[in-house]
Amino acid sequence: MTAGANADLQTRWPYPRILAHRGGGALAPENTMAGMREAHARRMRGVEFDVMLAADGIPILMHDTELGRTVPGVGDLGAFDSEELGRMDAGAWFSPHFQGEPVPRLEDAVQWLRRHDVWMNIEIKPMPGHDVDTAEVVGQMVQDLFADVSDPTRRPLFSSFSVKALDAARETAPGIPRGLLVEGVPPDWESRLRSLGCVSLHCRHDRLDAGLARHIKTAGYGLMCYTVNDPARARELFSWGVDALCTDRYDVIGADFR
């Protein structure tokens, strides 16, 4: 990406303003293709989802590092390869209707979302100690999958809580922009964004106030808040200049929410 294009991404948010959190949000199992299909069926134009590496080094969609919540079992998820995870049931925990929904591979999810014209905020969520290799594998894969897309606003946005992962993603995939994920906004947010070459800050909505939002926007960065499920709160955040929201409730805060 050219320096000019990067500056352009920093001064505005050229992406969808409402993102389906973990794809499925509250409507379908998180980080599954059923979740992506639900978001698309409800005309969502953007999704956020989480990515980590399976034992065989293949990136998969998953939030937790342990089995037990969204896939049955106990123990470390990193002990299983992507094929084993693909045979696990990531849907039954949500409802019997989704029984048998597999853990998807990143490549399959990206290709499906691209075909259906759904924009992606790909959260790199490494298992402990795997910040760099996760970002390198995910970065290379996504850069290759979007090599034919010249419009930077139509490429995904990476985000991560891991500074090491963001640094590695920048090295491996300079053409894919990055956002820094935080819970509360740290006092040194601006120097962190600058040194990581990030275009946006993604923070918990309940850790932001109007003044802070104004500073971040005035500095020229994109600002995304998670996880906003109340329409009145969503309106308030937009009135502060927040660019985008991640929501579980895209049935009430949908793509065309104002």
Would you please indicate which residues are annotated as catalytic (active-site) residues? 21, 63
28-63 per-residue burial string, b: 16 or more CB within 10 A, e: under 16: bbbbbbbbbebbbeeebbbbbbbbbbbeeebbbbbb
Amino acid present at 1: M
Which of 18, 24, 39, 50 binds Mg ion (CB under 5 A)? It is 50
Q: Which residues neighbour 98 within 8 Å (Cβ) at sequence distance 6 or greater? A: 28, 29, 32, 34, 91, 92
Report what 202 binds from ligand G3P, Mg ion, none; CB cut-off 5-8 Å by kind. Answer: ligand G3P
Q: Are strands 59-61 and 46-53 parallel, antiparallel or unpaired?
A: antiparallel
Report what 167 binds from ligand G3P, Mg ion, none; CB cut-off 5-8 Å by kind. Answer: none
Residue closer to Mg ion (CB basis): 6 or 161: 161
Q: For residue 47, give the nearest of 71, 65, 25 by alpha carbon.
A: 25
Q: Does residue 248 interact with Mg ion by CB under 5 A?
A: no
Query: CB–CB of 196/163 below 8 Å?
Result: yes
Q: Which residues pair with 158 in a beta bridge?
A: 122, 178
Amino acid present at 180: L
**How far apart are the C-alpha atoms of 78 and 76, rounded to whole Å?**
5
Q: Does residue 131 interact with ligand G3P by CB under 6 A?
A: no
Residue closer to ligand G3P (CB basis): 38 or 50: 50
Q: Does residue 122 interact with ligand G3P by CB under 6 A?
A: no
Which of 24, 27, 47, 123 binds ligand G3P (CB under 6 A)? It is 123
Near ligand G3P in 201-230, by CB under 6 A: 202, 226
Q: Does residue 38 interact with Mg ion by CB under 5 A?
A: no
The 8-class DSSP code of residue 214 comes to: H
Residue closer to ligand G3P (CB basis): 87 or 189: 189
Least distance from Mg ion to the Cβ atom of residue 123, Å: 4
Least distance from ligand G3P to the Cβ atom of residue 246, Å: 5
Q: Which residues pair with 227 in a beta bridge?
A: none
126's tokens: 């490494």
Least distance from ligand G3P to the Cβ atom of residue 150, Å: 26
Least distance from ligand G3P to the Cβ atom of residue 9, Å: 17
**Residue numbers at the binding site for ligand G3P (CB under 6 A):** 21, 48, 50, 63, 123, 159, 181, 202, 226, 246
Q: Which residues bind Mg ion (CB under 5 A)?
A: 50, 123
